[in-house]
Structure formats: structure tokens, C-alpha cells
Amino acid sequence: MFSAHPARTDETAAPGSNRGARGGVSEPTWKALEWTVVGCAVALTAWLAGGGRSALVLSPGDPGPWLVPWSAAAILAVLAIGSGIAGLVGRRSVGAPREQETPARPAGRWIVVLLSAGYIVVAPVIGFGVATVVFVVSFLKTTSQRWRWWSAVVAAVALTLYVVVLFEKLLQVPLPRGSIGW
Amino acid sequence: MWHELARPEIWVPWLLGMAFGILVGSTPGLTATMAVAILLPVTFHLPAMAGLAVILGVSFTAIFAGDIPATLLRIPGTPASAAATLDAYELQRQGHGAPVLLTNLFCSAIGGLVGVGLLALLAPQLARWALRFSSFEYFWLGVFGLSLSAVLTPGQAWKGMAAAALGVLASTVGWDEVAAVERYTWGRTELFGGLGFIPAMIGLFGLAEVFRSASHRLARRPDARLEIRSASSRALRTVLAHPRLILQSSLLGTLIGALPGAGADVAAWVSYGLAKRLSRRAQQFGQGCWEGVVAPTSANNAAVAGAWIPALVFGIPGDAVTAIVVGAMLMYNIRPGPNLFHENIHQLHLLLAIAFLTQLFLIPAGMIGILGFRLFIRLPHSLVMSAVVVFCVVGAYAIEQKWFHVMVMFGFGLLGLWFDRHQVPVAPFILGMILQPILELNLRQGLIKSDGRFQAAWERPESLVLMILTLAMILGPAMWHVVRRIVAGIARPRTSESSP
């Protein structure tokens, strides 16, 4: 039989505690405004990037290549502006998130984002194998306290070997070699 | 046909895919969609049927495997297992862990079999009807599917619609073949082929999940022991005691799964709700009721099969997993749609046979998965997450051996993080990306055929019905809200007048 002990998480922060104020404006309003700015910027870029280009109409009756992207951009802009207005007016249904779990370590995700970005930039330069070992060791050491240097290196080398054998040997996918050669 | 499936180049990757599905599905935070997205580039190096067998095997097993941590840790392995968590976890706490897991497994297999049966029964009939469709019907069907996914996904409907619009916009990047013009490429040749939906999927589901989970501490691992024999008989007795509930949940799951946008998670919740409403033991739901385990676990696997109905018949995917599969089928030169039922009947029968056999293989694979979970659960979470990043990078690169796709994948990972911050559903975005070529091509073909007359889009009765359905779905909830407020406004003065 299973005698599984129920798991206990360390997350004790109350839901909805992200409703902090920023200069007197509640976070949901900020989020709604962020939506407005990003949505409008994307829609405007989509509009301007397609504007002024003369599309070659190969078939009579064809509305051209910009009808669909511009329609999508227009829908996006309307929804983004609507969310901003509703957020400012204070309608709870638009800007306010319902229950949201609060991250236990909010900085953790940005460390992982930076590590992943570094890995993706460096790998084609120094080679996939070396970059993967360096990335996995850095990942293990920064995201968990339990890894010692030697165990992190062993795990990283094992994982890299597994991936290289699987892709290069079995699936015949050549991985980037870089300046070091592997 | 069966001897083709017995070839090692098909069944070996198929079973390995099922094992991978168990591994990913049972890891909290990793979804069935993510399992398919990560494995998809690998399948391109296999024969077409083997690739599709792998994808089918992964999607069905990952949905079941999600029930394992749901039962043991109260953490659903995939969103489709969330409904099963309530009663399964309570029963596990009461000492019924192993029978609950095996009940999950048997119900998943039966649900899947019912779903595949309905798929085989309904899809050819629907395909015959779909042959009468013109370009505009396909256009409206695409818009209907996209809107349905935006409205039905959890959270606020406007965010779903915005995500769908953004997905459509993202998919227009690249070379437009109808007018021979480049769109949003800014002269970069890498973008001529588009952003690529596979790097997008891997980024949105794989990398974004790693970013998200990096800020959350993890649960302590349970110590699990399993006695299969005694638990099996208890589970079998439970299954035999609820044949009507299993059939009801499987049928409902298949039908809900067939609706675009409503995937296995919605199917599981609706079946759970219906089972509770119809049960004589409604009060016990949530406190360790076997019916609360049987209903959602039968429905979620049935919904996976149901999602294949619109995907195969119309080329309109029912959920995120099938959205990826439709894309993969196009890459294998298998064009989903009514013609598949006439031109590629052999391939279709092979697909159905694979789906059917997957349900049977699910039982031994699931048992191994339950036993293996005990070992896997001891792997450090940080190691699993770093491996996911590495697989995301290699997966995105392996498609065409271009590092540009890895960067696109990273960009979509960041977008997934932003979506998570704003609680934007990802499924409508993916459906937008997948459906954009179908929508645009059919709209423009229809307009070319009708000399640019937009009225032609609703002149045929089928088009008109689909258009009205779409508009009703988008505007219906808002109009209903307005009507209720007006009715309440009229009723209030009357009640105040009548009160002394």
C-alpha cells in the first residue's frame, strides 16, 4: 500500500498579497495599463510595419496581405484600450486578478532567465557541450542549496553526455561545436 | 495493417514515447502539451507513422500520469488532473493510495477507448458532411474555434481574445504566398519562413514553466510503497461498481474535448460537476469519494480522443496538444480535413489503430509509471528543471539546425512569463498561430472566387449559421449580462412597491 506522507509546501504567503500599491495606484490598475501600453505598441507596430507597402495583387478580388494582420492588430488595440479604461475606472472584472500564488523567491525566476539567456548566447560560440555543462552547474548551484560543486559537475556532465549521445549519435542531429570543438 | 504497426521502427519509439509521457506527465509543472512540444522535433527524424504514434502515446499517457502526483502530492501533474486531485488525494490520505492510482489508470484506459470509438464512429460521418464546405465555411469554422477557445479558457474572456489576436498576428510573420510579399520580416531572411510554431510551443510551455517554477519552493517528497496485486482487485471492483458513471463521463469528455478550446481540463471539471450533481453521495464529494475519482479520470483521457475529431475532420484542433499535432501532420504531408477520409484512408486507419492500441498499452505502461514514479520523485527538482532548459534548447535547434529558432524559443519563453504575470491563457494564442493560415487562406480564396464581395461570406446557409454561432458566442455573455441587469432593474422597483 501507499503510505505517502502529504507534502507540505513552504509557500505560506497569503494569496492576493500582490495587490500592493505603487504610488497610490493599485497593482491591478498597473497591470491593466501595462496591457494597454504593450497591446497598443504591438498593434501600432503591426500597423506601421505593413503601411505604405504596395502589395502586388496577383488575383482580382484578393483583399491583400494586410487584411488579416491589421484586423488582428485592431482587435488587440481595442481590447488593450478597453482594459486600460476599465482598469482606471476601477472595474474589478478587468484589471484585478483573482487568487494568485505569490512567489516564494521572486528573484529566482530572473536568475534563471539570465542564466538561460547567457547559455543561449554563449553555446554557439564556445560549443554546445561545454556551454551545457557550465549552464547546468550554474543552474544547480544558484537554484538549490543542496548541490556541492563536485556533485553538480557530475550531474551536469552526465546530463550533457546523455543529450549529446541521444541527439548526435542516435538521431543524427549535429549540435553546435564552437571554438573549443565540442 | 496490424503487421505495419508491429515493425520495430514504429513500436519501439511508440513505447519510449509512452514512457516519456509518464515521466513528464507525472512531474508537477510539466504538462502534456509540453511533453509533446519537446518531443516533436525528435519525431521528425522518425517515419511519419512512428512520429504520430509517439505523439499519440505521449498525449494519452501524460494525461493519465498527471493523476499520479495529483493523488500522492495534491499537485496535479497536468491541468487535466486538477479535478481528480480533490477526492484522489483525500482517499490516498485515508490509506487507499494504490487502489486510487489503479482506478485512475483503468478509468483513463476505458475513457480513452470510448473516446477513440466515438472518434472512429463520428469522424467519417462528419467528414462526409464537411465535403460540402466552401472556403467561407472553413473560414467561419476557424473563427468559431478560435473564439470558442478564447471564451472557454479559464480566466477572463477578453484576455483569451487578446491572446488569440496576438497568436494570429505572430503567425502572419513571413512570406505571404498569395500576394508574394514579405510581412514583418524587416529584411531578415531567417524570418521569411515565419517564427515557427514549434519553437513558439517549446518556449511557451517548456521554458516559461521553468522560469515560473524557479520562484516557487517545492513540496517535500512522499515515501510511496505499492502492492499491485491487492490494489488491482480493489480498483477493478471500483470500476465494475460504476459502469454508468464511467460511460457517462467518457461520452461527456469526448464531446467536450471535441469543442475547440475546451480540452481535457474542462472535460474533467464538467464531468466531476455532473457526477456530483447526479450522485446520491454529493455531500461526500471532495472528502474522499470514489465517484469523484472515477468521473474526472474517465473524462480527461476521453477528451484527448475527442479533440482529434475536429482536428482530423476539419483541420481545426480541439486543444493545444492537437494544435501541435495538426502542425506536425502538415509537416509530414498529411493534410487533415475531409479529404483525409477518402484519399488517405489507409493512414487514417493506421492512426485509429494506434490510438486504440495506445489505450491497451496504457495499463502496463501506467503500472510501470506508478512504480517508476517512486524513483523519479527522488530526483532533485533543480536537476529536472535544468534538463528541461537543455531539452528546450536542443529541441528548438533540432528542427532545422538553426540557432535562430533557439532565440525565437527564448523570446516565446519570455512571452509565456509575461502571459503568466497577467494570467493570459496560452491555448488561444497557440490556436491563433495554428489557425491563422487556415483562416486567411480560406477568406482570401473565398473573396477571390466571389470577385471581392464580402457579402459572399454569409450568403450560403452553412456560412450564415456558423457566423451567427460565432457572434452569439462572442457577444452572448455580454448581452446576457445586460439583459439580466435590465430585468433586475425592472424587478427592483416592483418589489420595493409591493413591500410594506
Q: Which tens digit of pLDDT belongs to each residue from A89-126?
A: 765 444 444 444 445 565 678 889 999 999 999 999 99
**Phi-psi category of B179—alpha, beta or left, where left has phi over 0 and alpha has psi -120 to 50?**
alpha
Cα–Cα distance, B81 to B70 (Å, whole number): 7
Closest CA of chain A from B340, distance in Å: 27
Cα–Cα distance, B251 to B122 (Å, whole number): 12
| AA letter at B479 | M
Examine the domain organization and report whether A87 and A114 are in the same domain. no
What pLDDT score does B206 carry? 77
Cα–Cα distance, B418 to B429 (Å, whole number): 13
What pLDDT score does B314 carry? 81
pLDDT reading at A3 higher than 50:
no
Per CB-CB distance under 8 Å, the chain A contacts of B413 are 116
**Residue B152 in contact with residue B428, Cβ under 8 Å?**
no
**Contact criterion met (CB < 8 Å) for B184 and A69:** yes
A9 inside domain: no
Cα–Cα distance, B428 to B161 (Å, whole number): 7
Examine the domain organization and report whether A115 and A78 are in the same domain. no
pLDDT means per 10 residues, chain B with 500 residues, are 76 85 70 77 82 84 79 69 79 82 90 90 80 83 79 74 93 86 86 84 81 64 58 86 92 82 73 82 82 90 86 78 79 80 80 87 84 72 85 82 91 92 83 83 89 87 88 78 77 55
Examine the domain organization and report whether A91 and A111 are in the same domain. no
A44 inside domain: yes
Between B381-398 and B403-421, two packed helices, what is the crossing angle to 10 degrees? 130
Examine the domain organization and report whether A49 and A86 are in the same domain. yes
Closest CA of chain A from B461, distance in Å: 22
Best to test chain B binding among A30, A116, A148 (most B CBs inside 10 Å):
A116
A161 inside domain: yes
Examine the domain organization and report whether A35 and A71 are in the same domain. yes
What pLDDT score does B78 carry? 67
**Contact criterion met (CB < 8 Å) for B210 and A8:** no
User: Any idea what DSSP says for residue B155?
Assistant: S
* Beta carbons within 8 Å of B133's beta carbon, 6+ residues apart: B141, B314, B338, B462
CA distances from B206 to B30, B175, B344, B382, B385 (A): 8, 27, 33, 14, 9
What pLDDT score does B217 carry? 54
Q: Are strands A25-26 and A21-22 parallel, antiparallel or unpaired?
A: antiparallel
A6 inside domain: no
Pick from B162, B183, B207: CB nearest A80 = B162
**Contact criterion met (CB < 8 Å) for A69 and B158:** no
Per CB-CB distance under 8 Å, the chain A contacts of B101 are 2
Q: Domain range for residue A89?
A: 23-54+63-95
Of A38, A73, A95, the residue that ends a domain is: A95
Cα–Cα distance, B57 to B362 (Å, whole number): 8
Residue B209, all three cell numbers = 514553466
Examine the domain organization and report whether A91 and A35 are in the same domain. yes
Residue B231's closest chain A neighbor by CA? A1
Per CB-CB distance under 8 Å, the chain A contacts of B448 are 59-62
**Contact criterion met (CB < 8 Å) for A76 and B165:** yes
What pLDDT score does B113 carry? 92
3 state DSSP class of B76: coil
Pick from A2, A49, A76: CB nearest B98 = A2
A175 inside domain: no
A75 inside domain: yes
What pLDDT score does B197 carry? 76
* Beta carbons within 8 Å of B238's beta carbon, 6+ residues apart: B99, B103, B290, B293, B294
Residue B101, all three cell numbers = 492510482
Q: Total domain count for chain A?
A: 2
Examine the domain organization and report whether A39 and A67 are in the same domain. yes
What pLDDT score does B333 carry? 78
Which residues on neighbouring strands pair with residue A26, listed in sequence order?
A21
pLDDT reading at A1 higher than 60:
no
A34 inside domain: yes
Examine the domain organization and report whether A79 and A38 are in the same domain. yes
Examine the domain organization and report whether A73 and A116 are in the same domain. no
Best to test chain A binding among B175, B216, B234, B419 (most A CBs inside 10 Å):
B216
Cα–Cα distance, B362 to B65 (Å, whole number): 10
Pick from A35, A59, A171: CB nearest B42 = A171
What pLDDT score does B1 carry? 64
**Residue A41 in contact with residue A104, Cβ under 8 Å?**
no
**Residue B323 in contact with residue B317, Cβ under 8 Å?**
yes
Average pLDDT over residues A2-26: 38
Pick from B93, B98, B161: CB nearest A6 = B93
**Residue B227 in contact with residue B260, Cβ under 8 Å?**
no
Examine the domain organization and report whether A87 and A29 are in the same domain. yes
Examine the domain organization and report whether A112 and A80 are in the same domain. no
A142 inside domain: yes
Examine the domain organization and report whether A77 and A120 are in the same domain. no
**What number of other Cβ atoms are within 10 A of residue A88's Cβ?**
15
What pLDDT score does A136 carry? 95
**What number of other Cβ atoms are within 10 A of residue B204's Cβ?**
29
